[in-house]
């Protein structure tokens, strides 16, 4: 069976349906089957695994998922792609396309209905760049019961997700994702393997769910408020950021200094130098005064 993801076949499909790319939906279709094979290999799918895909496009990755996973459920927001997907994926009876914006969907409920008989669930997708972070955070925060996420996204975002303390890429996004998941960049994808070509290179990142969050915190929501506040202005000290960003921070500056001392953190440090463990200590020390 001919792969969808070759330049010739992709062009044929687009011409057949008179399809034109919508920039607003971040549509860039992969035209290299080898990259798709590497993505499914990274996800380690088996016939006992279910796969969720977001933004299947014309089905290039979807067909590779269908060949290796037990069942594939794909969310597609662009109605123009539905007849194309019905055509390109007709050889596979284990694929269900849902015409819905994944950001508005009740993904946990859909998973419950669609993947009853499968042991594991992986999210595998070539994500539209403009909604990468909201999609990943939604899946994490809504408790969708997946084992891991293997997604292709902008290289710069992948670098931020897998960044370590002390690097310029490290920030509140790194912490938010690494709190729930172990993160690693699997491989880099050049912009030349897409149609149309994006302006930047991409990366495939692999996130595996931790059995327990990376650190123990008294209140998750407040922990994330503290981490976001700490990076509000990267050049400012942790004390400065927390004073300016936390509610009533200026009035409670003494409480912030006391919490920093209790957490054994120098007030003149910057957010990017703090580890997850240090942020957890700090959030727990601040919580009585701000929670």
**Residues 194-230 pLDDT 10s:** 988 888 899 999 999 999 999 999 999 999 999 999 9
For the sheet with 148-154, list strands across it: 95-98, 71-75, 49-54, 120-126, 148-154, 202-209, 181-189
Average pLDDT along the chain = 94
pLDDT at 95: 98
Q: What is the mean pLDDT of residues 23-52?
A: 91
Other CB atoms within a 10 A radius of the CB of residue 11 amount to: 12
Domains of the chain: 7-209 (3.40.50.150), 220-290 (1.10.8.100)
Ligand-binding site membership of 271 (annotated): no
Ligand-binding site membership of 211 (annotated): no
Ligand-binding site membership of 264 (annotated): no
pLDDT at 71: 98
Ligand-binding site membership of 277 (annotated): no
Inter-residue contact 158 to 95 (CB < 8 Å): no
Ligand-binding site membership of 242 (annotated): no
Q: What is the mean pLDDT of residues 231-248?
A: 95
Ligand-binding site membership of 34 (annotated): no
Read off the pLDDT band of 1 (50, 70, 90): low
Residue 177 and residue 236: Cα distance in Å, rounded? Answer: 23
- Each residue's pLDDT tens digit, 118-155: 889 999 999 887 789 999 999 998 888 999 999 999 99
């Amino acid at each position: 069976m001919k792969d969808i993801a070759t330049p010739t076949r992709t062009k044929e499909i687009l011409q057949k349906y008179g399809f034109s790319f919508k920039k607003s939906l971040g549509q860039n279709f992969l035209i290299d089957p080898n990259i798709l094979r590497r993505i499914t290999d990274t996800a380690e799918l088996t016939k006992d695994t279910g796969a969720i895909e977001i933004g299947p496009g014309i089905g290039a990755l979807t067909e590779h998922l269908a060949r290796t996973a037990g069942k594939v459920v794909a969310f597609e927001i662009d109605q123009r792609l539905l007849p194309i997907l019905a055509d390109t994926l007709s050889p596979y009876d284990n694929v269900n396309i849902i015409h819905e914006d994944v950001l508005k969907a009740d993904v946990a409920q859909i998973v419950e209905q669609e993947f009853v008989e499968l042991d594991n669930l992986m999210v595998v997708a070539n994500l539209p760049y403009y909604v990468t972070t909201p999609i990943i955070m939604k899946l994490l925060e809504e408790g969708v019961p997946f084992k891991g996420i293997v997604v292709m996204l902008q290289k710069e975002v992948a670098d931020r997700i897998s960044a370590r303390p002390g690097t310029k890429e490290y920030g509140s996004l790194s912490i938010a994702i690494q709190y729930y998941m172990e993160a690693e960049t699997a491989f880099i994808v050049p912009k030349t393997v897409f149609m149309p070509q994006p302006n930047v290179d991409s990366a495939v990142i692999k996130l595996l769910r931790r059995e327990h969050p990376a650190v123990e915190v008294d209140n998750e929501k407040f922990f994330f408020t503290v981490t976001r506040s700490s990076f509000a202005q990267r050049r400012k000290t942790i004390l400065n950021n927390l004073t300016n960003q936390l509610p009533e921070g200026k009035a409670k500056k003494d409480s912030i200094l006391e919490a920093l001392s209790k957490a054994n953190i120098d007030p003149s440090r910057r957010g990017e130098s703090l580890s997850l463990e240090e942020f957890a200590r700090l959030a727990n020390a601040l919580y009585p005064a701000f929670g």
